[in-house]
Structure 1
Amino acid sequence: MGIKEMLNLARVPSILMLGGVYMAYVLIGGVVFWKLEGDLRQKDINIFLSNKQNLLRTYTCLNQDGLEAVAQVVQDASKVGISLKNNYTVDGFWKFTSSAVFAATVVTTIGYGNMSPSTSAGQIFCVFFALFGIPLNMVVLSRVGKYMLVIERNISDFLEGKTGRRKCTRFFVHLVSYLSGMALFFIIPMIVFEQQEGWTYAQAIYFCFITLSTIGFGDFVADNNPNKDYPDWYSLLMASWIFFGLAWLALLINHSIDILERLNAHFKQGWCRQKQEGESGNAEGDNPDTQVEEEDEIKKSPITQ
């Protein structure tokens, strides 16, 4: 058995190789987050412990049990969306507009975690609502994404008929589509969130991607601050942005998957071609008839001085 046959037998299946790349990617990401956030998180813990000790020294009548009771009140107020800075309570999270946005986060599987049903009836309804709503949302988003793709292709075909340049036209249409989507679903919402929520631009763009990718950490949530009086159009804008932004990002992710699959097929075809050429070269070199013909041609060829 030759070296090439041994390598072919020892070749790792593609699924295992892909799984190894995936695991390595996740572990590398874990190491990077650990290095970037680990030290800062330890500083936050130290600051919290220092503030806690200062609070207990300042308010001597407040012991550990009292501090835990105050913390529980603050946590309950944050969960239901009540402001502690004012002498009155607001509507809380479960007004109609906020409830509609919550329903959108359920069917889109974003799930910020800032609000959740607490009654048994609400929890049971949430289960069945998500059970039928998530597949419906996937079908609708897929259909909307296909319509976006059809519009993009129609524009591309129209421009191809005018210019006669296919590759340049398609590249230009894709580029304009991506830039328009970035402006419509990232840049403009970033400016709106910076003005309405008081976030930095980095926090706003971070929130946009975490939301549209359905990761939904919940560390930043728009239309969630009980100390702010949001306009009525804000919740409607949020729901519309989430829906169409998800469709656009899904289309973008599908384009990325298609590009990766084409690259994988291209490299696989190149490897198979090299393998076939190597096998054919070895077969010709090992063929005795070919060697005899080559020797006869050498003997018959004239000798030049």
Structure 2
Amino acid sequence: MGYKEILNLARVPSILLLGVIYMTYVLIGGVVFWTLEGKDGEMKIQRVIQDQQQVLNKYSCLNHDNLQEIIQLIQDASKAGVSLKSNDTKDGFWKFTTSAVFAATVVTTIGYGNISPSTIGGQIFCVFFALFGIPLNVVVLNRVGKYMLAIERNISDFLEEKMDKKGKKLCMRFSIHFISYLTGVILFFVVPMFVFQEREGWTYPESLYFCFISLSTIGFGDYVADNNPERYYPDWYNILGATWIFFGLAWLALVINHVIENLERLNNYMKGWWGDKKAKDNAANGEEDNPETQVEEEYDKTSEQK
């Protein structure tokens, strides 16, 4: 491929290029997950089939329909948050503190899926509650994140005033950012990791995994705090969890915004570099810019002005 062909490819609108990069990234992720989890998933299926057959062979009075009834009973008990190992009456999932945490997972779009409204009234209310709650949550988290960033910048500016040399100021700003990120990691990942390991009985990697899946609002639901009917959870545990989710979301959103800003800067740098190359090539060949590229550049300029 010659020099001119490469420059012609560079004229492809960046939105198309980003789309290709996005799809490639997702497909690579799918291949990696398929490689890591595929064989294990097949082994689990075979193990479940074997265990089911062993239960039927061990208890000859059971048939396939009876086994399905038992499985359904266990699933219903799990959804209700009731343990079948004892005859004690439990509060289940829909006590006040748990319901408040569920409301928080709705407006934050975490949605673990371990509990969900089953009544018509609850489902209808959930729709309208999320419809107004999600935008409100975004606005509040955005405002809290800006306050966090303002505090960090004020501290950085205050300390920079004490510095004389430019190099020291740059080093001080970097140190403040690093300390800020490190503090957030400790508060929202390390400390909760120890708490969840103690209260939930998870391993440290599982607890750390739950922290990120929750604060990133992915919320698979494979690990959920305050979800084991065999364990006792005090009320303060739910309150602490809801507080952790709220401020952790604001902090992680701030970090993600910083990553987005850096990616945008890299994208602008690449566009500027390719733009200089294209301008020189067009000037040498007496060609005009690609109309699609011109439209996109005008759109980018308008967006930046806004």
Q: How many residues align?
A: 282
CA change 1:132–1:43 in 2 (3 A) is: same
User: After superposition, what is the alpha-carbon deviation per residue over 1:110-141, rounded to whole angstroms, capped at 9, x for unaligned?
Assistant: 00000011111111111111111111100000
TM-score by length of 1: 0.88
Provide the residue aligned with 1:49 in structure 2. 49
CA change 1:9–1:148 in 2 (3 A) is: closer
Provide the residue aligned with 2:115 in structure 1. 115
- Paired residue type of 2:111: G
Q: Tell me the CA shift for residue 163 of structure 1.
A: 1.7
CA change 1:6–1:180 in 2 (3 A) is: closer
- Paired residue type of 2:194: I
Q: Tell me the CA shift for residue 282 of structure 1.
A: 7.5
User: Does the CA contact (< 8 Å) of 2:10 and 2:274 recur in 1?
Assistant: no
Provide the residue aligned with 2:156 in structure 1. 156
Match of 2:243, SS? helix
- Find the aligned partners of 2:284 and 2:158 in 1 and give their Cα distance: 48
- Find the aligned partners of 1:271 and 1:7 in 2 and give their Cα distance: 8
Provide the residue aligned with 1:144 in structure 2. 144
Larger radius of gyration: 1
User: Does the CA contact (< 8 Å) of 2:80 and 2:92 recur in 1?
Assistant: yes
Q: Tell me the CA shift for residue 22 of structure 1.
A: 0.3
- Paired residue type of 2:160: E
Q: Tell me the CA shift for residue 11 of structure 1.
A: 3.2
User: After superposition, what is the alpha-carbon deviation per residue over 1:45-99, rounded to whole angstroms, capped at 9, x for unaligned?
Assistant: 1111111111001111110000000001000000010011111220000001100
User: After superposition, what is the alpha-carbon deviation per residue over 1:264-305, rounded to whole angstroms, capped at 9, x for unaligned?
Assistant: 11222223334445566789xxxxxxxxxxxxxxxxxxxxxx
TM-score by length of 2: 0.88
Provide the residue aligned with 1:177 in structure 2. 180
Q: 2:214 aligns with which of 211, 214, 217?
A: 211
Runs (5+) with no aligned partner, structure 1: 284-305
CA change 1:260–1:86 in 2 (3 A) is: same
Alignment of 1:16-55 (within 5 A): 16-55=16-55
- Find the aligned partners of 2:6 and 2:226 in 1 and give their Cα distance: 62
- Find the aligned partners of 2:151 and 2:260 in 1 and give their Cα distance: 20
- Paired residue type of 2:263: L
- Correspondence 1:252 to 2:252: no
- Paired residue type of 2:199: Q
Runs (5+) with no aligned partner, structure 2: 287-306
CA change 1:167–1:63 in 2 (3 A) is: same
Q: Tell me the CA shift for residue 5 of structure 1.
A: 8.2
CA change 1:29–1:152 in 2 (3 A) is: same
- Correspondence 1:95 to 2:95: yes
